[in-house]
């Protein structure tokens, strides 16, 4: 069913039309749509697609654009056929030797006139062993294709589209470049769009799944003039799959399907082949060496015994040749440790069970061992090293002005959206009843009332969730931590509430005490918002916004020691601006100032003129906080010879500040020569890039292609790379890395592209997993030595018997039984050995 309304007429004239033949000539040459739309003006983009913003595309234009650009869906990728996957498992030298041995054994049996079970026994046993090993490989590789399927979940279902002068709600798959689309709060962006008209004071979009930015991004209409622009620089583009968190706007579709940002991630994942694990490479090298040895011994046995071919005991020359050919086959079977794949698989499976207890869920068995030789961990910042939950960490208020301006600073604990944490004064003493402090009480009140977000508890996930801006949710959590006045007589009262009730109990209290009357929304020029409330014959306006905007509109301040209101002097303002510089500069906190104003009784509306003569009540600084356990985990990695590189889409100063807060980079005097943005790194020469990679600790302002490029560059330097991440933007790099590690709370795309998932999102779990991987390698090395030494005994036994003319000692079937059972079970027992106490003090093996 379509909902149609007539579009409102536009006061602006229609853009000039390009000649149809010119457009037909331009569009086919730009089948990937308008790739530089971010650098073009609105009129240029509208002209390119021949669209009137007041009417949208006509039906004929829609049909033509659909032919040129295709549908707005991520195309189905070609699946590897089942039989190709099966045949791939037999592409191994030792396996081919065993297959050849089975065929030769079968042919020789037929030549000797053997029939029935006797003829098929030896080849059947060999082929059954190979089939069992192949089954494990097929199952492992089938799981890898799920990542591309999961990517489609991030496409929007419907879109509000302007066509033929009417708005319609259409399936997002029917969008074509040139369509005019309207987006608003809560909408999932249906394609790559270029902003053409703002319908509210601002538009903010959460594009963390694409860029990893911890805060939503403000969008604008003006052209982006940055050269080599990355996604973060394209502030006039709305990317497919991202979510609008604030505002309303109209935009023109400039990219659909595979030609969107989400489509480029898909293409990058398709171009990424599976890398052989270090264990697989070692086993392949060993297999090649063993094959040469086997071939040499078989030829040697054949040549040495040519004189025995005519021995009467064999019944003729041909029968003698066949007899010694059988011995050569037996030698091949004896030399190859058929039980090795089974024992390796069993050992890795044991490792996955141990890792599962450490909250590391392994999706690909070989990755268990790969962790043990990891030399570099490229860690995503947002959601991996940090909680990805914006939290207030600092509060600044004016304590007193009796002896000059004296500011009071408070720190706030708690790094998630859970209403759990305490407030400490500048001496580190915990405030038992924060709501008894006048400024903190007013800050809590303003945080709860001047707020459009929602904080709620999700019982299914067992976690607190947000709806709306991260910064506003952080203020709601702060209001919960401050508490309510009058609760000093029953301090544990809030603790007896259920998690669902506790999530926003204090916020709901204030919302019930006041009645909302009017709102002045946030705008870019004012950089603030205000809300008018009434309560018991009292009208109050609460305001919040950028500190410089709020402070410049204040004429008085609220004192925290006696709740008095005093004039805001030049000295006090200078003190506040100095503290703001410290919060925003040195500590790179995102700062907001809060203020209030008593309004005339009965006022029902707000105007811009009302936002003056405010009373300053406080300033808060917030950040996406680091996880508490990260520091020790990173130090453990470094002591084990593993380098950690932090990779993020955030800006350089924010990321460097976070690294200092973590404390694991204290050995660096500064980040000069260790910290690069993606654009800075790309400008370096090849030699400079090589040197930079050897020292790099921080890589910022990156987009998905940069993460993949980083992994490839490190791999070219013979590094074994582990990549951690949780977003859609991390998927190509997770797939390219030697081992991709996704967060349990991350996107389904990231999990499907990874080799391992951290169920607890804990970077520290990686350290325990690395130790387990090293232990598995040590055990693997020991049981391979055991099995090879046993096989050498069999080879020597058969070879000596053949040289001396002694009758057959062991038949191939007997050798298979010995290799699988007599040798396999003791070798498996070695896989149960516990890790050495100093396993994490050794350097990674190469």
Six token digits for residue 427: 């001496």
Q: What are the helix (H) ranges across 3-153?
A: 20-26, 42-48, 59-69, 82-88, 93-111, 117-143, 146-151
Listing DSSP states for 680-721 in one string gives: HHHHS-HHHHHHHHHH--EEES--HHHHHHHHHHHHHTT--E
Assess contact for 190 and 176: CB atoms under 8 A: no
Task: Find residue 205's DSSP bridge partners.
Answer: 217, 244
- Strand duo 554-558 + 539-545: pairing: unpaired
Assess contact for 731 and 265: CB atoms under 8 A: yes
Listing DSSP states for 560-590 in one string gives: TTT--EEE--HHHHHHHHHHHHIIIIIS--E
- Give the C-alpha separation, 747 to 646, whole Å: 20
> Could you tell me which residues come within 8 angstroms of residue 151 by beta carbon, excluding any fewer than 6 positions away?
74, 262, 265, 266, 269, 728, 731, 749
DSSP state for residue 361 in the 8-state scheme: E
- Give the C-alpha separation, 622 to 214, whole Å: 12
Cα angle 141-144-147, degrees, rounded to a multiple of 5 = 165
Beta strands in 460-525 (DSSP E): 463-467, 515-520
| Catalytic residue IDs | 380
- Give the C-alpha separation, 485 to 471, whole Å: 24
- Nearest Cα neighbor of 706 from 375, 278, 264 is 264
Burial class (CB in 10 A: 0-12, 13-18, 19+), 521: middle
> Could you tell me which residues come within 8 angstroms of residue 95 by beta carbon, excluding any fewer than 6 positions away?
89, 130, 133
The position carrying tokens 């599962």 is 356
Q: What is the helix (H) or strand (E) element at residue 269, kind and residue range?
A: helix 261-271
- Give the C-alpha separation, 236 to 226, whole Å: 12
> Could you tell me which residues come within 8 angstroms of residue 684 by beta carbon, excluding any fewer than 6 positions away?
692
Please count the other Cβ atoms lying within 10 Å of the Cβ belonging to residue 169. 12
The position carrying tokens 């070798």 is 827
3-state DSSP call for residue 138?
helix
């Amino acid at each position: 069913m379509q909902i149609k309304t007539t579009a409102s007429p536009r006061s602006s004239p229609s853009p000039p039309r390009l000649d149809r033949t010119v457009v037909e000539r331009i569009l086919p040459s730009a089948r990937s749509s308008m790739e530089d739309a971010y650098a073009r003006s609105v009129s240029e983009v509208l002209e390119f697609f021949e669209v009137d913003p007041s009417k949208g595309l006509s039906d004929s234009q829609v049909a033509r654009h659909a032919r040129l650009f295709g549908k707005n869906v991520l195309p189905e990728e070609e699946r590897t056929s089942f039989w190709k996957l099966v045949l791939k498992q037999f592409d191994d030298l030792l396996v081919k030797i065993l297959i050849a041995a089975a065929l030769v054994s079968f042919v020789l049996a037929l030549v000797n006139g053997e029939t029935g079970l006797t003829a098929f026994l030896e080849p059947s046993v060999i082929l059954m062993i190979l089939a069992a090993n192949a089954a494990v490989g097929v199952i492992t590789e089938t799981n890898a294709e799920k990542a591309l399927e999961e990517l489609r979940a991030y496409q929007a279902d419907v879109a509000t589209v302007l066509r033929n002068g009417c708005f319609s709600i259409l399936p997002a798959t029917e969008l074509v470049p040139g369509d005019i689309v309207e987006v608003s709060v809560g909408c999932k962006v249906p394609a790559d769009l270029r902003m053409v008209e703002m319908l509210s004071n601002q538009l903010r979009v959460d594009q963390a799944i694409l860029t990893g930015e911890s805060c939503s991004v403000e969008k604008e209409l003006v052209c982006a003039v940055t050269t080599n622009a990355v996604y973060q620089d394209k502030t006039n583009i709305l990317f497919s799959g991202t979510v609008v968190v604030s505002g309303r706007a109209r935009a023109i579709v400039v990219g659909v399907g595979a030609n969107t940002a989400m489509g480029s991630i898909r293409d990058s994942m398709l171009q990424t082949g599976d890398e052989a694990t270090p264990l697989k490479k070692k086993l392949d090298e060993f297999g090649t060496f063993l094959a040469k040895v086997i071939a040499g011994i078989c030829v040697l046995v054949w040549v040495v015994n040519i004189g025995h071919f005519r021995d009467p005991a064999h019944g003729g020359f041909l029968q003698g040749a066949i007899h010694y050919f059988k011995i050569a086959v037996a030698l091949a079977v004896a030399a190859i440790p058929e039980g090795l794949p089974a024992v390796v698989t069993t050992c890795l499976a044991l490792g996955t069970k141990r890792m599962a207890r450490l909250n590391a869920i392994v999706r690909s068995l070989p990755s268990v061992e790969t962790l043990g030789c990891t030399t570099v961990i490229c860690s995503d910042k947002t959601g991996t090293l940090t909680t990805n939950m914006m939290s207030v960490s600092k509060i600044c208020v004016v304590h007193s002005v009796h002896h000059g301006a004296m500011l009071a600073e408070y720190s706030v604990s708690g790094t998630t959206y859970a209403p759990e944490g305490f407030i400490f004064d500048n001496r580190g003493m915990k405030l038992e009843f924060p709501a008894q402090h006048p400024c903190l009480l007013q800050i809590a009140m303003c945080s709860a009332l001047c707020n459009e977000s929602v904080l709620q508890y999700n019982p299914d996930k067992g976690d607190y969730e947000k709806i709306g801006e991260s910064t506003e949710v952080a203020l709601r959590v702060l209001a919960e931590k401050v508490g309510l006045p009058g609760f000093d007589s029953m301090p544990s009262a809030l603790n007896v509430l259920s998690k669902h009730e506790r999530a926003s109990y204090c916020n709901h209290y204030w919302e019930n005490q006041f009645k909302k009357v009017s709102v002045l929304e946030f705008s870019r020029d004012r950089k603030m918002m205000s809300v008018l409330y009434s309560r018991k014959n009292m009208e109050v306006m609460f305001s919040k916004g950028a500190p410089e905007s709020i402070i410049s509109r204040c004429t008085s301040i609220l004192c925290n020691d006696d709740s008095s209101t005093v004039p805001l002097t030049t000295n006090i303002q200078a003190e506040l601006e100095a503290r703001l510089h410290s919060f925003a500069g040195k500590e790179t906190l995102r700062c907001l100032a809060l203020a209030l104003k008593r309004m005339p009784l009965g006022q029902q509306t707000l105007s811009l003129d009302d936002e003056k003569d405010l009373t300053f009540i406080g300033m808060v600084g917030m950040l996406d906080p680091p996880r508490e356990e990260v520091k020790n985990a990173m130090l453990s990695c470094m002591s084990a010879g593993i380098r950690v590189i932090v990779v993020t889409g955030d800006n350089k100063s924010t990321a460097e500040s976070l690294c200092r807060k973590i404390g694991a980079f204290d050995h660096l005097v500064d980040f000069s020569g260790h910290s690069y943005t993606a654009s800075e790194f790309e400008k370096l020469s090849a030699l400079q890039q090589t040197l930079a990679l050897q020292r790099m600790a921080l890589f910022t302002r990156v987009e998905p292609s940069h993460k993949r490029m980083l992994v490839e560059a490190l791999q070219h330097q013979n590094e074994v790379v582990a990549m951690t991440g949780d977003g859609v933007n991390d998927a190509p790099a997770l797939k390219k890395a030697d081992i991709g590690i996704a967060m349990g709370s991350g996107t389904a795309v990231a999990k499907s592209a990874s080799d391992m998932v951290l169920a607890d999102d804990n970077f520290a779990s990686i350290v325990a997993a690395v130790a387990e991987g090293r232990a598995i390698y040590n055990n693997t090395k020991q049981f391979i030595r055991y099995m090879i030494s046993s096989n050498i005994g069999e080879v020597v036994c058969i070879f000596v018997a053949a040289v001396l003319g002694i009758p057959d000692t062991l038949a191939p079937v007997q050798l298979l039984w010995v290799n699988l059972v007599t040798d396999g079970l003791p070798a498996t027992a070695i896989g149960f050995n516990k890790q050495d106490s100093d396993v994490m003090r050794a350097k990674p093996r190469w």
